[in-house]
Every structure is written in structure tokens, then in C-alpha cells.
Amino acid sequence: MLDYGYSIHLALENLTYSTMHIFQVLLLFFETLSLSFQKYNVNIPSGLMAAMTLRCISTSH
């Protein structure tokens, strides 16, 4: 299994990465995170996930 946190770190560090690529990596990360939470019966609202994703994108620039 890939280390998604490290992938995001690389995407944010490398300025040649496009915003869309960073967005896709973040979405993949959050999907994986929510799936792992569902596995342990912890539910995270998708609205919160979207807000967290947008916050990460806005603070990365």
C-alpha cells in the first residue's frame, strides 16, 4: 500500500505539479481515510471531507 501522506508531501513540495494533480492525490487520500474509518465503524460526513480538502488546497498556495 502506498504512503499517501508522503505522496501529498511530494506533490506540495514539487512546484511543477499542477493543482489538479494535488487535488486528485488529496481526494485519493481522503477516500482511503474515510474507508479506513468506515472499517472501524467511525463515520465522517462527506461535507467535512470536502471542507478539509478545500482547506488543504487553499493553504498550499
What pTM does this model have? 0.34
Q: Where are the domains of the chain?
A: 4-59
* Distant-in-sequence contacts of 8-15, Cβ < 8 A, 24+ apart: 12/60
What does residue 36 show for φ and ψ, rounded to 5 degrees?
Answer: -70, -35
Q: How many CA atoms lie within 13 A of 8 on its CB side?
A: 15
For residues 35-41, give the mean pLDDT: 69
Instruction: Give the tens place of pLDDT for each residue, 6-32.
Output: 776 776 676 555 676 777 888 888 888
